[in-house]
Structure 1
Amino acid sequence: MIVVRRPKYACRACDDVVVQAPAPGRLIEGGLPTDATVAQVLVSKYADHLPLYRQAQIYARQGINLDRSTLADWVGRAAWHLRPVHERLLAKLKASPKLFADETTAPVLDPGRGKTRTGQLWAYARDDRPWQGADPPGVAYVYAPDRKAERPITHLAGFTGILQVDGYGGYRVLADKSGATLAFCWAHVRRRFYELAAAGPAPIASEALRRIAELYRIEDDIRGRSAEQRRAVRQEKSLPIVADLVPWLREKLELISQKTKLAEAIRYTLSRRDGLSRFLDDGRIEIDSNTVERSIRPIALNRKNALFAGSDGGAEHWAVVASLIETCKLNGVEPLGYLADVLTRIVNGHPNSQIDDLLPWAYIQAPEFRAVA
């Protein structure tokens, strides 16, 4: 139980002068839930992937009658207050010289049809730890109702750095319009050849896998070194592998039917050779975009358990809260304590000019917010 004591003070020498400290702000004005209670609902939903109806069932077993609509209202209010922090997180990420980008489906209820329609959650991530970068890791999700190329163009307005992505064509449009430089993902190349080799004897696909595996072995050895050290090793060891792979693939492409899956895999690789080679000349670039794909997995888990968002607004709440929770996890910050503290500070008038103090990585040095491994 939390008890707030606000004594009243009066002056005997004055007439009708009584003063009392104002009550602290509450996220749910006039309601029973504390900010920590609302934070617990957020973490259960977006970090532990417990849909609101399951949380309502858990509370009911404890004798607490909370309707799912009540919990949804709490989530909406919290996400509305957290929106400026989410916007600032995305702005800080866009100021980075390098980002990862990916997108995944976000089913949204379409009330007029009684069905769901497919929205998209776009993920923009930063993780410079593999090359000893100084900026803290983070990820920001942004909801959009479709997968049009204009979405990442809008989300990343002002970004002119290196964007590491999969083969989705919309990113090429972004690069043409914004001046961003695209680096492509060897994991997506490898996946195409792996599917062929796993289905049965496939000498060309197996040989391509062997050569790609050599690149990954080199990456394992240099992970955690400085960007310049990584570049030097790649120039010495990885560059010859890639230089031999491209003409070898061209040669094999001439020998096989152009309608096969193998030909598709080879053409996919050759058409992206510039972006795939970019990591050789810049030690800050990873060999693949697995960093952002790992950030997509919690979204997929939540989608599997909750099935769909109730509305576009609900999907936007999903993006806001999930961004802060996943950035907490990347920085070793305990999300429950973080969200409870941030919500309390916001509803009590935290100045917008100091919003950087509310970003997850601002809590790294505070032992009370440190996540237990």
Structure 2
Amino acid sequence: MAYVYAPDRKAERPMTHLDGSSGILQVDGYSGYRPLAEKDAVSLAFCWSHVRRRFYELAAAGPAPIAGEALKRIAELYRIEDEIRGQTQDERRAVRQQKSRPIADGLAPWLREQLALISQKTKLAEAYALSRWEGLTRFIDDGRIEIDSNTVERSIRPIALNRKNALFAGSDAGAEQWATIASLIEPAKLNDVEPLAYLADVLSRIVNGHPNSQLDDLLPGAYAASTKPKAVA
């Protein structure tokens, strides 16, 4: 996991940050990622949580039977994900092909049918889903892909909140340093390493002469593996 600072949300930012990348890119609905896909640099996997949120907002505002039905069908996709959490990518793909594929195959034509019958606000929610359908259903064919980007969303929420509360950073250089620190702290959390203790230990090792050629050994993933208690035979 790495954080990169950009001063704005121009489409050129992800193009620059991800130049030379390939493979699957799991994203929200931000249009700045589309040029990457159009270059055939990456394949986009979109987030069902963002789709669900749009229908939820409609359902919460008042009677909305179509939005409610969409939420029920999306909930079935999430129920299947709960069943296969922690399984291998091949196992996840097999279950998704059997159980999630029929739900998705039924949802798309149903949404298109409703577009002719509903208000503009609901049309926007359905058009959002249908315009991203290939990327939304990519997870069904690839067990490595998650159904949403919630893990990333949760990890960046504290940073986003602090950005608003503290006016983020005093300069571009300060923001870039913040991104570097976050790129160490958040992976440490994911690897069950206490961030403050980790940073203190790593800085101590560097001060005490840890070889520059072996700095990769101090990155959170490698650090967690090296400090994990060894099993006693």
TM-score, length basis structure 2: 0.92
Could you say which structure has the larger radius of gyration? 1
Code of the aligned partner of 1:248? W
Select the residue among 142, 149, 153 that pairs with 2:15.
153
Q: Deviation of residue 254 (structure 1)?
A: 1.3
Q: Deviation of residue 367 (structure 1)?
A: 4.7
Kindly, what percent of the aligned residue pairs are identical? 75
C-alpha distance after superposition, 1:22-69 (max 9, x if no partner): xxxxxxxxxxxxxxxxxxxxxxxxxxxxxxxxxxxxxxxxxxxxxxxx
Does 2:30 match 1:168? yes
Select the residue among 264, 269, 273 that pairs with 2:124.
264
* Cα pair 1:157 1:178 within 8 Å, conserved: no
Select the residue among 202, 206, 217 that pairs with 1:342.
202
Q: Deviation of residue 155 (structure 1)?
A: 1.6
Structure 2 residue matching 1:145: 3-state secondary structure: coil
- Number of the residue aligned with 2:86: 224
Select the residue among 153, 161, 167 that pairs with 1:301.
161
The CA distance in 2 between the partners of 1:345 and 1:150, in whole Å, is 38
TM-score, length basis structure 1: 0.59
- Number of the residue aligned with 1:117: none
Does 2:48 match 1:201? no
- Map 1:73-152 → 2, pairs under 5 A: 139-152=1-14
The CA distance in 2 between the partners of 1:252 and 1:308, in whole Å, is 43
- Number of the residue aligned with 1:129: none
The CA distance in 1 between the partners of 2:210 and 2:164, in whole Å, is 36
Aligned length: 229
The CA distance in 1 between the partners of 2:208 and 2:16, in whole Å, is 32
- Number of the residue aligned with 2:224: 364
Select the residue among 328, 339, 352 that pairs with 2:188.
328
Does 2:115 match 1:249? no
Select the residue among 48, 52, 59 that pairs with 1:190.
52
Q: Deviation of residue 303 (structure 1)?
A: 2.3
Change over 3 Å in CA distance of 1:359–1:367 after alignment to 2: closer
Of 339-348 and 291-300, deviating more is 339-348
The CA distance in 1 between the partners of 2:46 and 2:109, in whole Å, is 19
Structure 2 residue matching 1:218: 3-state secondary structure: helix
Structure 2 residue matching 1:340: 3-state secondary structure: helix
- Number of the residue aligned with 1:57: none
Of 301-310 and 356-365, deviating more is 301-310
Alignment gaps of 5+ in structure 2: none
Code of the aligned partner of 1:185? C
Change over 3 Å in CA distance of 1:256–1:304 after alignment to 2: closer
Q: Which structure is higher in helix share?
A: 2
Does 2:148 match 1:288? yes
- Number of the residue aligned with 1:318: 178
Q: Which structure is higher in strand share?
A: 1
Code of the aligned partner of 1:223? R
**Alignment root-mean-square deviation, CA:** 1.8
* Cα pair 1:153 1:174 within 8 Å, conserved: yes
Q: Deviation of residue 261 (structure 1)?
A: 0.9
* Cα pair 1:143 1:316 within 8 Å, conserved: yes
Structure 1 residue matching 2:4: 3-state secondary structure: strand
The CA distance in 1 between the partners of 2:75 and 2:178, in whole Å, is 37
The CA distance in 1 between the partners of 2:82 and 2:141, in whole Å, is 17
- Number of the residue aligned with 1:239: 101
Q: Deviation of residue 198 (structure 1)?
A: 0.4
* Cα pair 2:20 2:41 within 8 Å, conserved: no
